[in-house]
Amino acid sequence: MKKLIAITLAATFAIGTLAVADIQSPPGHQFGWSRKLSRALANLAYGGSEIFAVWTKSNRTNGNIAASADMVVDGSKRAAVRAGYGIYELITFPVPSWKHTYRPPYHKKGHIDTWYGYDEFPPQVGITSQAGYGRTQNW
């Protein structure tokens, strides 16, 4: 009986060391048709928030006058681009159309350089938008 248990454990160990599996999820696992549909609806509904996000970014760096001009020109352009991508993704959400995946078709550089590229979803505008406060108190 001891010999049978030893052979069974040795065989199980040998088979277990030979089994190699990739248990990580693939890189595009979060992108599916439902995320593409939600991205399309968000771009259509909240794409206009790009106008106010451009004003906020330009106001921090260039001042009020430049911010008002950037808001009209660049903000309107970014809102129109968001609306265009929203219509495109709404029409094509059931099929993997962009490079045979469900990834967003626009260039994402928002976290590297906020002036160029687009994030996956439109920016948040309001009190909760990129709050620059913390819980610590500095004297």
Beta bridge partners of 98: 101
For residue range 123-139, what is the model confidence (pLDDT) as tens digits?
A: 776 655 455 555 555 55
pLDDT at res. 2: 74
pLDDT at residue 113 tops 80: no
pLDDT at res. 135: 55
For residue range 16-30, what is the model confidence (pLDDT) as tens digits?
A: 565 565 566 666 677
pLDDT at residue 87 tops 90: yes
At residue 55's C-alpha, the angle toward residues 50 and 60, to 5°, is 130
Read off the pLDDT band of 101 (50, 70, 90): confident
Cα dihedral 88, 94, 100, 106 sign: positive
> Which residue ranges make up each domain of the chain?
35-121
For residue range 11-64, what is the model confidence (pLDDT) as tens digits?
A: 666 665 655 655 666 666 778 888 889 989 999 998 888 888 888 888 888 888
String of DSSP letters for 34-98: HHHHHHHHHHHHHTTHHHHHHHHHHHHHH-HHHHHHHHHHHHHHHHHHHHHHHHHHHHSTTS--B
Q: Is 101 helix (H, G, I), strand (E, B) or coil?
A: strand
Interaxial angle between packed helices 49-62 and 64-91, expressed in degrees from 0 to 180 and rounded to the nearest 10:
150
pLDDT at res. 109: 61
Read off the pLDDT band of 86 (50, 70, 90): very high
Alpha-carbon span 118 to 91, nearest angstrom? 20
Residue-averaged pLDDT of the chain: 77
